[in-house]
Amino acid sequence: MNLELYLKPVDFSGFELPKWAQKKYALSTLLEKNRDKIPVDKAKIVLIGVEEDRNAISYGSAVSPNKIREHLYALNRIAPRFKILDLGNLIVGQNPSDTYFALKDVCEYFLETGITVVILGGSQDLTFGISKAFEDRFFNLVTVDPKLDFQKGAKTIDSENYLNFVFKKHPNLFSHVILGYQNYFADALELNHATDLNSDTRRLGQVRYNMSEIEPYMRGADIFSFDLNSVRQIEAPGQYFASPNGFYAEEACQIAHYAGMADLLKIAGFFNLIPALDNDELSSKLMAQIVWHFIEGYYFRVVEDPENKPQEFSEFIIEMDDIDLPLTFYQSRKTGRWWMKVYNQNNDTDHVFPCSQEDYDLASRYEIPDRWWRNIRKLNQLAK
């Protein structure tokens, strides 16, 4: 694939570091050095900006990729030999659909090469373009958003209804999780519809109460889509939603760090920053730090698989009276993380999914975890 047909390279000379930054250790210095030394196919992770917001309900995020870079470049590098590249900005199409297809082509290429992609948006409907790269394979999606981004009967896509089109066009979407929604922005019928589509929803308070519980969702994800509107306005004024409630800045960074650590996560997108609304560039600085935490999480990623290396895991089997088979759990001896086995009776196959210690604790009290039910229901649907 000729990436030059899709991407405009970064001009590093156009980004001046602030006086407090240490140029020797700045991320921009590492990225500029890597551009000349590391071939694209040798990179571990790549950054791509997408200057597209024509389907947004509020314009202005198209200029955010370079604004994020301005503050991201000043932050310290993760490690001196980290194989990370900034490939510049995607060349947008004559219309948003053309941009979606170009984004699909680029993401598809990196899926095949096994390189993780970080998308600097742009509006969140770009998540639809990313999802098109998974048309021939099952995938899992995690979105961080104050609302559900479903709109019943929507005929044209925008940044507030893109999930309609993801679900409509992708029957191969295995699971979807919405983190941080706020109940006063979500109607009960919308929540029921999300359940019907096998989406799992976690309210802002649920996530905040036990942040570590979101880690299994991230570990099973292929796509991570972060909406800046999920952060409360006082900490991120550069947004159109402008809610007094939402994630705190450090919580947003922690979520991104979990996403970066996720074993299977292939593409992460960061969307809906509007620099024109950004007082003192606070939101741009925060988005840069959120992206930085994702990159750091990726650097410390530990890939584990109970099926391929069972000797590295402890196995726990719990007999359940309510079902005709035991629940099997695995715990990593290295990281302490948990997985559960789900047996699909329709085709006599086993599937292992990420889970939490809370799931194991529930099973130990002879209560079947919701995560087990959701996975077995989806497997049964796919087998029909």
Q: Which of 193, 121, 135, 205 is nearest to 161 (CA)?
A: 193
- Mode of pairing for the β-strands spanning 139-144 and 84-90: unpaired
pLDDT at 76 over 70: yes
β-sheet bridge partners, residue 247: 231
Give the model confidence (pLDDT) of 298-332 as tens digits.
Answer: 999 999 999 889 999 999 999 887 777 789 999 99
> Which residues lie below 8 Å from residue 286, measured CB to CB, with a gap of 6+?
228, 231, 235, 236, 249, 252
Query: What per-residue confidence (pLDDT) applies to 348?
Result: 62
Q: How far is Cα 75 from Cα 269, in angstroms, rounded to an integer?
A: 19
10 Å Cβ neighbour count for 63?
16
10 Å Cβ neighbour count for 347?
9
Q: Which of 127, 140, 135, 138 is nearest to 354 (CA)?
A: 140
Say whether the peptide bond before residue 122 is cis (omega within 30 degrees of 0).
Answer: yes
- Taking the CA atoms of 266, 232, 180 and 136 in sequence, report the sign of the dihedral they define: negative
Greater confidence (321 vs 333) lies with 333
pLDDT at 369 over 70: yes
Greater confidence (346 vs 240) lies with 240
Span 254-260, mean pLDDT? 97
Span 206-223, mean pLDDT? 93
Q: How far is Cα 75 from Cα 382, in angstroms, rounded to an integer?
A: 45
Q: What is the mean pLDDT of the chain?
A: 93
Query: Of 77-81, 272-276, 278-282, 370-374, which range is least confident?
Result: 370-374
Instruction: Grade residue 376 by pLDDT with cuts at 50, 70 and 90.
Output: confident
Query: What per-residue confidence (pLDDT) applies to 1?
Result: 86
Query: What per-residue confidence (pLDDT) applies to 346?
Result: 60
Containing 202, the helix (H) or strand (E) segment is strand 199-203
Q: How far is CA 355 from CA 191, 258, 331, 336, in A?
A: 23, 14, 10, 11
> What whole-number percentage of the chain has pLDDT above 90?
80
N-term to C-term CA, the chain:
37
Query: What per-residue confidence (pLDDT) applies to 324?
Result: 74
Span 240-257, mean pLDDT? 96
Q: Is 267 exposed, middle or buried (0-12, 13-18, 19+ CB in 10 A)?
A: buried
Span 116-124, mean pLDDT? 97
pTM over 0.85: yes
Greater confidence (373 vs 316) lies with 316
Cα angle vertex 294, ends 273, 67, to 5°?
A: 30
Q: How far is CA 182 from CA 148, 170, 212, in A?
A: 9, 26, 19
If DSSP codes are grouped into helix, strand and coil, which group holds residue 36? Answer: helix
Q: Which of 35, 42, 26, 29 is nearest to 7 (CA)?
A: 35
The tokens describing 253, both together, are: 């960074």
Instruction: Grade residue 244 by pLDDT with cuts at 50, 70 and 90.
Output: very high
pLDDT at 37 over 90: yes
Greater confidence (322 vs 290) lies with 290
Cβ atoms 227, 219 nearer than 8 A: no
β-sheet bridge partners, residue 140: 175
Instruction: Grade residue 383 by pLDDT with cuts at 50, 70 and 90.
Output: low
Q: How far is Cα 335 from Cα 262, in angstroms, rounded to an integer?
A: 13
The tokens describing 340, both together, are: 């559960």
Query: What per-residue confidence (pLDDT) applies to 116?
Result: 98
Q: How far is Cα 130 from Cα 128, in angstroms, rounded to an integer?
A: 5
Instruction: Grade residue 207 by pLDDT with cuts at 50, 70 and 90.
Output: very high
The tokens describing 98, both together, are: 């053309």
- Taking the CA atoms of 85, 31, 88 and 7 in sequence, report the sign of the dihedral they define: negative
- Mode of pairing for the β-strands spanning 267-271 and 313-318: unpaired
Give the model confidence (pLDDT) of 52-73 as tens digits.
Answer: 999 999 999 999 999 999 999 9
Cβ atoms 119, 125 nearer than 8 A: no
Structural domains of the chain in order of their starting residue, each with its CATH number: 3-299 (3.40.800.10), 310-383 (no CATH)
pLDDT at 347 over 60: no
Span 16-32, mean pLDDT? 94
pLDDT at 382 over 80: no
